[in-house]
Chain A
Amino acid sequence: MTSIKQLPYEEYFLAGNGSCPGCGLTIGLRNVLKALGKNVYMVVPASCSSVVQSPFPNSSATVPLLNTPFAASAAAASGMVRALKIMGKDAVVMVWAGDGGTFDIGLATVSGAAERNEDLLYICYDNEAYMNTGGHRSSATPLGTFTGTTPTGKRENKKNVPLIMAAHGIPYVATASIAFVTDLYDKIMKAKDMKGFRYIQIYSPCTPGWLLPTEKSVESAKLAVQTGIYPLFEIEGGIFKISAPSKAYLKKEKRKPLHDYFKIQGRFKHLKEEHIKLIEQWIDQMNEEYAALDGKKIF
């Protein structure tokens, strides 16, 4: 495992970009690009990333970047990767999309590209709602969460897109977190050298959208793993494996109280004890299922 001291000094997504203080996506993208280096093409659908990359003529990305409409990124990246292949150019094509562009409007497109096993790296930075557009709920929004369109809390569970992606039989699926940078870095490094469709979903806090104090961004990401609400895992060649940062928290007694996670985020402020119990039940069930899957070939 790479240690934090071994991460490259080079920066490919520059400072001075338009992101909010404490923004999860830029922490994620900064480290993803450290792993990928210069030989990468980025494809970005409508999302916060369309904005934070900075307006014309500036760009914080030091790699070629194609902006696309919301649902188009996996298909545009497919066209790009096929073009590079036929032109004899060897490079990584990476989609960098939000959860709305992945879980909702782009799901058919992502599924299409995965079914074709296009040779691209698809990364979803998951901030659990339409954070660039008023903070509406998405199908990535967890149960109970306050958003712009769930003012009394969301009634439905988060959609399990990593498992949907794994069901396509693609070579690599992983969840990662901006709080566990070296785990993220290693997953990107692993995916970088693979062929075919690779899906990585990164937990990325949104400070204004989550009503989260700037300085609590990384802390909330850490707690998401430690409370078991966002387990980190890999599905490589169909084999499910819980990642090191989440290993201990598969056991209920090791998990930190959910309350610690909820209390620092305004989006959970309205939750009553009975709601938290319901969510806890869901987390228990999910972790039990993941513990049972650990090490097994599931697809």
Chain B
Amino acid sequence: MSIIEDKKSLSNVKVVTANEAVALAVKCAKVDVGGAYPISPQTSIMEYLTKYIETENIPMEIVRVESEHSAMAVAMGAAAVGARAFTATASQGLLYMAEMVYWVGSSRLPVVMAITSRAMGAPWILGNEHTDVLLPREWGWMVLFPEDNQEVFDTIIQAYKLADTTLVPVVVGLDGFILSHTTMPISIPDQSIIDNFIPKNTPKPYALNTEDPFTHGNAVHSNLYLEFRHNIFKTIEDSEDLVDEIDKEWSKLTGRSYGGVIEEFLLDDAEVAVLVMGASSGDAKEAAKKVREKYGIKAGVIRLRSIRPFPVKRLSKIAQKVKAIGVFDRNMSPGLGGMIATEVKFALYDLKNRPIVQSYIGGLGGKDVKIADFENILVELKEMVDGKREVEKVKWVGLDLAAIEKFLEEV
């Protein structure tokens, strides 16, 4: 249901950037404590939140800390006593915060963090890239990646549901600048819907308290550490259905569904599909429609919404239908391939009739990726299916090896 059709909630429609959508969702989630430290393109999330607190009397504590490391430490200290906690970062900030992100993941504290994706230096770079959002997938966090501002709002709410249910913290990634600084209308559900969806008064047996004192995180024998890690592994592995269920439950309440772990676009009869995350999905969808019209290629889009849990089950089902998947990674694992392509291959390798999986890397540091690029990917995939084109370990999108030389000549 589009928000225009959703007449009942028209009064709750706001035209906001995705950063404001995050802040509104955090307010609606009745978060208790947040850690704030600035980094572009995340900065305005915390500015909105502090504004709500100071002008609307929202009962939330924002600790304006001196580093990202401390921002996550604040969230951890709050969550450890049973409070609902939030923080946000990007890029260098995430790297500086990394030690705490890992510690919170391993502590099983239900923190939610927004990461407005941004490439990392050196050299200094502000442009969008997904590498930062993907890093916490190795650090014991769930990682979700919405496509537009409405979904950003909804996914923050869903993230608290997921975190509270599994006791695994959740990253919500959103495309830096492309979403974070772009306004779109979003519909905000009644507060009672959110309160019932993510109740705060659930039992929290992990919460430190003075009545029944215990210790969090003290040293453990090497013979037990493996079992702790396995427990985190299993919890995340087993959460694929839960992400679907949470999305379904949300759709019953709001009329908005995103397909759970994967949004499937024109996949029913698709022969080739491009797998993509986040805001670029819109371009990929356009491209799929265009190559269908132009060339009659049965093309579709696999929009990966959940990176952890990695949707092995759903992807395997899709892989039974399509003959080739082009994984578009706005990130890279140096010398190997796209990070998601690597995982897709791992997930599908055991299938008897597995499709071609071609890794595409592009858009790093904010380099433009156009609808035509996705059209080209889909056409290439069709050629691979027809045996007219070789599959390569990695294909780069928009790579111009002479670009630096040319630029230097121009200046």
In the assembled complex, the Cα of A69 lies from the Cα of B210 at a distance in Å of 22
B220 / chain A contacts, CB cutoff of 8 Å:
55-56
Query: Which one of A38, A43, A79, A109 contacts B66 once the chains associate, using CB atoms below 8 Å?
Result: A109
A79 and B33 within 8 A (CB): yes
In the assembled complex, the Cα of A62 lies from the Cα of B76 at a distance in Å of 21
Which of B57-65, B157-165, B291-299, B333-341 sits within the interface? B57-65
A116 / chain B contacts, CB cutoff of 8 Å:
63-64
A74 / chain B contacts, CB cutoff of 8 Å:
70
A82 and B219 within 8 A (CB): no
Which of B5-13, B78-86, B116-124, B231-239 sits within the interface? B78-86
* CB of B224, distance to nearest CB on chain A (Å): 7
A79 and B76 within 8 A (CB): yes
Task: Take A64-B209, A86-B60 as given contacts and tell me if A112 and B70 are in contact as well, using a CB distance cutoff of 8 Å.
Answer: yes
The 5 closest A-B pairs by CB, nearest first: A79-B77, A112-B66, A75-B70, A79-B74, A83-B83
A40 / chain B contacts, CB cutoff of 8 Å:
210
Query: Which one of A64, A75, A108 contacts B74 once the chains associate, using CB atoms below 8 Å?
Result: A75
A and B contact pairs by CB, cutoff 8 A, 28 listed: A38-B213, A43-B77, A50-B219, A54-B218, A56-B221, A56-B224, A59-B215, A64-B208, A64-B215, A65-B214, A69-B103, A72-B73, A72-B99, A76-B73, A78-B65, A78-B77, A79-B63, A79-B75, A79-B77, A82-B63, A83-B78, A85-B61, A86-B59, A86-B83, A108-B67, A109-B66, A112-B65, A118-B63
In the assembled complex, the Cα of A103 lies from the Cα of B81 at a distance in Å of 27
A149 / chain B contacts, CB cutoff of 8 Å:
none
* Interface residue? A1 (CB, 8 A): no
B residues 13-65 in Cβ contact with A at 8 Å: 32-33, 35, 59-61, 63-65
In the assembled complex, the Cα of A54 lies from the Cα of B213 at a distance in Å of 15
A residues 59-91 in Cβ contact with B at 8 Å: 59, 61-69, 71-87, 89, 91
Which of A38, A81, A115 has the most chain B CB atoms closer than 10 A to its own CB? A81
Residue of B nearest to A55 (CB): B219
In the assembled complex, the Cα of A252 lies from the Cα of B42 at a distance in Å of 57
In the assembled complex, the Cα of A108 lies from the Cα of B103 at a distance in Å of 19
Secondary structure dominating the interface of B: mixed
B77 / chain A contacts, CB cutoff of 8 Å:
43, 66, 68, 75-81, 83
Task: Take A62-B213, A82-B63, A83-B32 as given contacts and tell me if A68 and B76 are in contact as well, using a CB distance cutoff of 8 Å.
Answer: yes
A39 / chain B contacts, CB cutoff of 8 Å:
210
B interface residues, Cβ below 8 angstroms from A? 32-33, 35, 59-61, 63-67, 69-71, 73-83, 85, 99-100, 103, 208-210, 213-221, 224
Which interface class (under 10, 10 to 19, 20 to 34, 35 or more) fits A?
35 or more
Q: Tell me how many residue pairs across A and B have CB atoms closer than 8 Å.
A: 157
B218 and A50 within 8 A (CB): yes
* Interface residue? A287 (CB, 8 A): no
In the assembled complex, the Cα of A191 lies from the Cα of B213 at a distance in Å of 23
* Interface residue? A180 (CB, 8 A): no
A59 / chain B contacts, CB cutoff of 8 Å:
214-215, 218
A75 / chain B contacts, CB cutoff of 8 Å:
35, 63, 65, 69-71, 73-74, 77
B216 and A109 within 8 A (CB): no
* CB of A11, distance to nearest CB on chain B (Å): 14
* CB of B94, distance to nearest CB on chain A (Å): 16
Query: Which one of A55, A64, A71, A111 contacts B221 once the chains associate, using CB atoms below 8 Å?
Result: A55
* Interface residue? A298 (CB, 8 A): no
B218 and A72 within 8 A (CB): no
B208 / chain A contacts, CB cutoff of 8 Å:
41, 64-66
Contact with B along A19-56 (1 / 0, CB 8 A): 00000000000000000001111010000001101111
A38 / chain B contacts, CB cutoff of 8 Å:
210, 213
A76 and B81 within 8 A (CB): no
A67 and B216 within 8 A (CB): yes
In the assembled complex, the Cα of A63 lies from the Cα of B210 at a distance in Å of 6
Task: Take A55-B219, A66-B217 as given contacts and tell me if A78 and B74 are in contact as well, using a CB distance cutoff of 8 Å.
Answer: yes
A108 and B66 within 8 A (CB): yes
Residue of A nearest to B209 (CB): A64
Task: Take A41-B208, A108-B66, A109-B73 as given contacts and tell me if A67 and B82 are in contact as well, using a CB distance cutoff of 8 Å.
Answer: no
